[in-house]
Structure formats: C-alpha cells, structure tokens
Structure 1
Amino acid sequence: MAFYTEGPTTQGRGPVHLVFDVNETLLDTAALDPLFMRWFGTEARRGEWFLILQETWMTANLVGHFAPFAELAKSALRQLGAKHGVSIAPADEQALVDGVLGMPAHADAVEALAGLRQQGHTLTALTNSASAAAQHQLAQAGLAAYFDAILSVDQVERYKPAPEPYRAAAAHWSVAPEAMVMVAAHGWDLIGAQAVGMRTAFVARPGKAMDPALEQVPTWRSDDLSQLMAQVVAAG
C-alpha cells in the first residue's frame, strides 16, 4: 500500500520524526530458522532464543554491565543449548552472528520507507545492535539509504527499553522526545519510548502482540508497515 499520495488525509501537519527499531521490526528474523532447525530440530527455538536474549540485555541494564550485542546473542544461544542438552560450538555462535548480520528486510519495509523518504520525513534507526553491525544489516537489506541517521545503544551503553537510548535519539536531532514517533514490533520497546514522551506505532509482526488492555501504548497499530505509517503521517 503506497501512502504518499497528495491530499489532506495523507499529508498530516508536516514532516514527522520517525524512529525505527531494526531487528524483527524491519528485518525478518525468520531467516534464522534453518539454523535453529539444524541445531535443535525445530524452528520454534528461534523465538525462545530471542526471549533469552531480551532477558540477557535487560539483566545487563539492571546490573549496570554493558556488553556488546553479539556477545549477548552468543550467550543466549549457549543458554538455550544448555537448557535443551544441545552442545553449541564456537562455529555455531559465529553462524548465528553471521545470520543476524544477513537478515533480509520484511516485504513491506522498502515501500514504506521509500514513501516516507519521498514525503520528506526524518527517518532514524535506533537499535540494540552494535553500530557497525546495524550499518551492515541495513545496507545488505537495501534499507540504509532511506535513513537520515542509524543510531545504536552503543553510544549510551544502555539497551532499550532503558530511557537513555530514546533520549539520545531525540538529542541527536535537538528535538524533544514528544516530537518523535517510535516504530517497533515489540511492546517493551514502545513502552520504553512512551515513558520518555514519544508517541508509538506498533507493527504486529508474526508472533508479536501487545496487551490489549493498555490504553496509551501504542498510539497506532497495524500488521502492515505501510498502513501503519499512513496512520502516523495522517496524524502529523
């Protein structure tokens, strides 16, 4: 769905500062399924690995010990292996890192970002991936050129949903968080963004959901990124 047609229902009140999560929101982690099938005999372990990874970086935040995202991803894989009695070799850890670096864009990502770029909105990527990794990920997926800035939590050494990464994104553009919209496929990411004042847009990727009882988060929701951005742009 293209959403950059001229007209009052799509133009909103002017350019919008849009902040995008990367992993799962723009890039499809389902591309990792063959690895988890090889190691564990089921693709379902990929989602379990990501939950362990989230727990690992949130623990890092709580104890105040920042470690590179790739190291946490490897640690989560080793934990998953120990849980299920599967031996994880260093080559397996590297295969996972390589897989994360090579994930493709979701099918709706290019059209959505291209439409936003054509309209003149400011597009920022804000990711828990390391800075160099994020640049590589978005470039190989054909998305890097659409962004005005690609920001990593590396600069503040705190993982989302801690407040520091969102505030750093606002500071990068010298705007208030209230002037920005955070776009993500994760409820925890949007709750973190809303806590510092950002408006929020939830793209319901397969297997992702938000608590329907939450009244303020997200501001907008859709299972299609172009349709979601149409809602955001119309609101201005």
Structure 2
Amino acid sequence: MNSTNPAPIGIFVKTGSPQLIEVLGTTALDFVVLDAEHAPFDRGMLDLMVLGGRAARLPVFIRIPVIDPAVILSCLDMGATGLLVPHVDTAEQAREVVAMARYRGGRRGYSGGPRSAGYASLSMAQAVHLGDQAQIVCQIESAQAVGQARAIAEVPGVAGLFVGRADLALSLGLDDPRAPEVLQATRATLQAATRAGKLAGMHVGGTPEREQFIDEGANWFVVSSDQSLLRQAVQAIAGAPKQR
C-alpha cells in the first residue's frame, strides 16, 4: 500500500503496452486496473500486461468486459490479482461471479499450466489456494444495484464494491455523475461496503475528489487513467489546446 495514503490508489490503464506497466511499477501506485470493458484489449495483450505487472511487482486487476465463465477463467489464469466486474445488480449475480472465479466451492476449471499455477511448478493444492485469493470487486452501476448493495457486499468471496457513477447516473435518468441523486446513491453504496467490512471503491478524477470521498467512507480508489494523465501532463507543457 502507498505509505503516504491510507487508501490504496490505482489508475485505469487503457493503452496496450507492457512497458507502460513497467514504468508505472516505478511509482508509488498500489495497483493498476486494465480496462478491458472500454479499451481494445485482446487476450494476448492482457496476458503481456499482466506479465509486465508481475515483472514490475505491481498488482494488476482486470475490469472484464462481460460476466462470462471463459473470460473470468482466462483473466485469472493469466495471474490477475483480481477482477473488477461491471454491472452486478443482485446478490445472486455476485454469487455466480464468485463461483466462476473459485476452485473450492465454485466452478473454475483447473489447469496446472498457466501463470497462476506457476507453469506447473506448484502442486495442485498450492495452485488452488493461490487461485482462490483473487479479489472480486463488484461494480454498482444501477438503482437496483444500490438497493442490493448491502446484500452484494455480504456475499462470501466478494472483496468489495466499486461505484460506477457514470452508468449509475444514466440508470437514474441523469447525465451528470456528480448530480445530488448520484452522490446520495454513492454514499449508500460506500456505507454498505464498509458496514460489511469490504473494500469501498470508486473512480475519481484526481486528488481533490479522492480526499472528498475518503471523508464519505471510500477506501480504495482508481484515480483517472493513463490516457487522461498523459493528456493533462502534455497539455500543461503545451499550453492551450488547439482549435479544431
């Protein structure tokens, strides 16, 4: 964990480059999240990015594009630290996701060959134990999910909840993720997670928002993205944007 911040901090990575992960591994980030939901990652590139994280000793989560057993199996076999799972609306869905991700008591298929099993260097018992440590974080992105947040958080194997404010706003018929109704739903979700003793996560644009939501109970942050941070840094050097 970042020694200067009590709440772990990561960023979304949307660019296919293992070298980027290597560079981020030289910083004080606690983790990164590969955004396979909204960025054009194929299976091969995800594998290289997770490999880069292993080399850099930087935990790598993957935001999966869809709840599917094959997708979950593939990402975990690559050795991802955990999964950020979009659009989990009910406790039953959360239980299904956990079952797809777990060997013991679940339905995850076993092979000793992948990176997660040490390329057959681990015993089956060792590989199963390590595999079942993968963290499953459920995204709360609808009014229904907010109502179910406490039940989702209490599902065994769910490591935490993550507020997706943009889709949550759309679910509420709004187009502003900072609208009062969205803030109220965000607070309810964060409270549900912390009361269950789970991660209370969210995406924020920068440090001021992060500090605001620490006060609201959030304790796990994805701050901005590689694309946004690159653009901001370059724009600070280049000056005002060009007119198009």
Fold shared, TM-score > 0.5 on shorter chain: no
Greater per-residue helix proportion: 1
TM range (shorter): under 0.3
Determine which structure has greater relative contact order: mean sequence separation of CA pairs < 8 Å that are 6+ residues apart, divided by chain length: 1
Greater per-residue strand proportion: 2
